[in-house]
């Protein structure tokens, strides 16, 4: 049997109509989605504009209260409206970051009069991470027990930066009684931001040295231990020396490096043994840190070891040793000059020691040795 041309044409026409109708539907859907997205963006922009206007109004109101000779009270203040809390939080943080004394006390009093605390508590429980951090930052300016308890409740938070914000607030209190809780929380941490944590721990001051020394020598994760060692150096108390000396022998190279750096910050010449040991360490970064410490501490008795380090296999160690020798003044510079005299300018591959000595002298003095 032959095929029916009319049936074939009818079938093709049906397919084309279906394709055309499907394309039309898809076009309508696409236009609807585009319109919906545009409308959503318009609503968001409008809401954002309203928030900016309201925040400016709250800023003017707060500034007027701070400038007034009259102490703020509930009777003289305009009540907050629904949803004003985030704007007030932003305004309060902006003001508290740059003010002290009377204005800061008035700002905190305003927050209490406006009864912001229930919203702060709810935000810590249910809010986004970024807002939790801002709330904890605000609480750090208060000095009441409830604010402290709230911050202590979040020093075990799973979010690294929420935890750090809580720790910073607790540290601002400078109260040694909080240290055991802080150390216990840090012992359970699995990861952290080392520079930020070190700065926070440093804020506890000299009273924290025993606790931080214990934390640095504990089984806490390396990041926490490194932060504790850095904080010991930043605090600058000689009470930390014995712990740092022990840590300069730690099995972890990073700990040995950080211990040498912190000993250099203390400025205690008793670090000489640790520096001598560090200059012959198996790890390049430890040898480099020891050379830097020798220069900062002015340890002239390690001149022979620094002279040997000019021939180290690592360029970094050679450079740090040369820097340290120059920093030691007359005797160290004399070693550099004497070493540079052995430089053979015709050699295809100059000896590393003389080449480094000449390079350092040229860098510091602008002329070859």
Same domain, 221 and 324: no
Q: Which two tokens stand for residue 85?
A: 């809390």
Query: How many angstroms separate the first and last alpha carbons of the chain?
Result: 106
pLDDT greater than 80 at residue 1? no
Residue 297 is predicted with a pLDDT of 96
317-331: b or e for each residue (b if 16 or more CB lie within 10 Å)? bbbbbbbbbbbbeee
Q: Which two tokens stand for residue 30?
A: 């696409």
Residue 10 is predicted with a pLDDT of 64
Q: Please provide residue 267's backbone torsions phi and psi, each rounded to the nearest 5 degrees.
A: 75, 25
Residue 6 placed within a domain: no
Span 313-342, pLDDT tens digits: 999 999 999 999 999 999 999 999 999 998
Residue 320 placed within a domain: yes
Same domain, 167 and 194: no
Cβ atoms < 10 Å from Cβ of 304 = 11
Residue 65 is predicted with a pLDDT of 81
Q: Please provide residue 113's backbone torsions phi and psi, each rounded to the nearest 5 degrees.
A: -65, -40
How far apart (Å, rounded) are the C-alpha atoms in residues 91 and 108?
A: 12
Residue 18 placed within a domain: no
Q: What is the DSSP string of 261-316?
A: HHHHHHT-GGGHHHHHHHHT-SSHHHHHHHHHHHHHHT-GGGHHHHHHHTT-S-HH
Of all residues in the chain, what percent carry a pLDDT higher than 90? 63
Span 30-86, pLDDT tens digits: 878 887 877 777 666 766 677 777 778 888 888 888 888 888 777 777 787 888 899
- CATH assignment at residue 279: 1.25.10.10
Mean confidence (pLDDT) of the chain: 89
Contacts of 150 (CB under 8 A, 6+ apart): 120, 121, 124, 136, 139
Q: Which two tokens stand for residue 277?
A: 């040991």
Domain hosting 190: range is: 174-265
Same domain, 225 and 292: no
**105 three-state secondary structure:** helix
pLDDT greater than 90 at residue 19? no
Same domain, 347 and 249: no
**How many domains would you assign to the chain?**
3
Domain boundary among 238, 265, 292: 265
Query: How far is CA 306 from its chain centroid?
Result: 34
Same domain, 196 and 156: no
Cβ pair 154, 146 in contact under 8 A:
no
Cβ atoms < 10 Å from Cβ of 140 = 20
Domain boundary among 173, 191, 224: 173
How far apart (Å, rounded) are the C-alpha atoms in residues 333 and 322?
A: 9
Residue 21 placed within a domain: no
Nearest by Cα to 335 from 311, 317, 316, 366: 311
Residue 75 placed within a domain: no
How far apart (Å, rounded) are the C-alpha atoms in residues 188 and 181?
A: 11
What is the sign, positive or negative, of the torsion defined by CA atoms of 9, 15, 21, 24? Answer: negative
Q: Which two tokens stand for residue 265?
A: 């910050």
Burial class of residue 167, CB neighbours in 10 A (0-12, 13-18, 19+) = buried
Cβ atoms < 10 Å from Cβ of 160 = 17
What is the sign, positive or negative, of the torsion defined by CA atoms of 125, 131, 137, 139? Answer: negative
Residue 185 placed within a domain: yes
What is the sign, positive or negative, of the torsion defined by CA atoms of 83, 87, 92, 93? Answer: positive
Same domain, 131 and 229: no
Same domain, 339 and 318: yes
Residue 26 placed within a domain: no
Residue 369 is predicted with a pLDDT of 45
Q: In the predicted model, what is the mean pLDDT of residues 109-131?
A: 92
**68 three-state secondary structure:** coil
Same domain, 108 and 164: yes
Same domain, 88 and 191: no
Same domain, 213 and 187: yes
Same domain, 91 and 169: yes
Which residue's entry shows tokens 């690592």? 314
Same domain, 364 and 313: yes
Cβ atoms < 10 Å from Cβ of 263 = 31
Residue 237 is predicted with a pLDDT of 95
How far apart (Å, rounded) are the C-alpha atoms in residues 119 and 147?
A: 13
Domain boundary among 121, 147, 173: 173
Residue 258 placed within a domain: yes
């Amino acid at each position: 049997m032959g095929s029916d041309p009319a049936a074939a044409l009818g079938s093709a026409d049906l397919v084309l109509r279906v394709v055309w109708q499907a394309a039309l539907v898809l076009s309508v859907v696409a236009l609807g989605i585009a319109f919906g997205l545009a409308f959503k963006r318009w609503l968001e922009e409008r809401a954002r504009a309203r928030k900016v206007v309201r925040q400016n109004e709250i800023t003017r109101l707060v500034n007027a209260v701070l400038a007034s000779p009259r102490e703020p009270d509930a009777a003289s203040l305009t009540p907050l409206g629904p949803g004003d809390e985030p704007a007030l939080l932003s305004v309060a943080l902006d003001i508290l970051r740059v003010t002290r004394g009377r204005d800061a006390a008035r700002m905190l009093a305003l927050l209490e009069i406006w009864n912001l605390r229930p919203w702060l508590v709810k935000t810590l429980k249910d809010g986004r991470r970024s807002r939790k951090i801002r709330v904890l930052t605000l609480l750090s300016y208060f000095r009441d027990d409830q604010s402290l308890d709230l911050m202590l409740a979040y020093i075990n938070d799973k979010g690294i930066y929420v935890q750090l914000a809580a720790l910073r607030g607790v540290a601002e209190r400078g109260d040694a009684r909080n240290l055991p809780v802080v150390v216990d929380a840090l012992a359970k941490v699995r990861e952290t931001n080392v520079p930020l944590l070190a700065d926070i721990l440093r804020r506890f001051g000299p009273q924290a040295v025993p606790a931080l020394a214990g934390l640095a020598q504990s089984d806490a994760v390396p990041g926490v231990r490194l932060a504790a060692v850095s904080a010991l150096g930043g605090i600058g108390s000689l009470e930390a020396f014995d712990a740092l000396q022990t840590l300069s022998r730690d099995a972890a190279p990073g700990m040995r490096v950080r211990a040498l750096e912190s000993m250099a910050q203390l400025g205690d010449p008793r670090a000489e043994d640790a520096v001598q040991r560090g200059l012959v360490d198996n790890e390049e970064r430890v040898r480099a840190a020891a050379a830097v410490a020798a220069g900062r501490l002015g340890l002239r008795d390690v001149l022979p070891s620094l002279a040997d380090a000019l021939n180290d296999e690592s360029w970094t160690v050679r450079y740090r040793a040369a820097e340290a020798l120059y920093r030691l003044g007359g005797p160290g510079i004399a070693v550099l000059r004497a070493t540079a005299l052995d430089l053979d300018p015709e050699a295809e591959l100059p000896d590393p020691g003389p080449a480094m000595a000449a390079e350092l002298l040229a860098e510091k003095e602008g002329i070859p040795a």
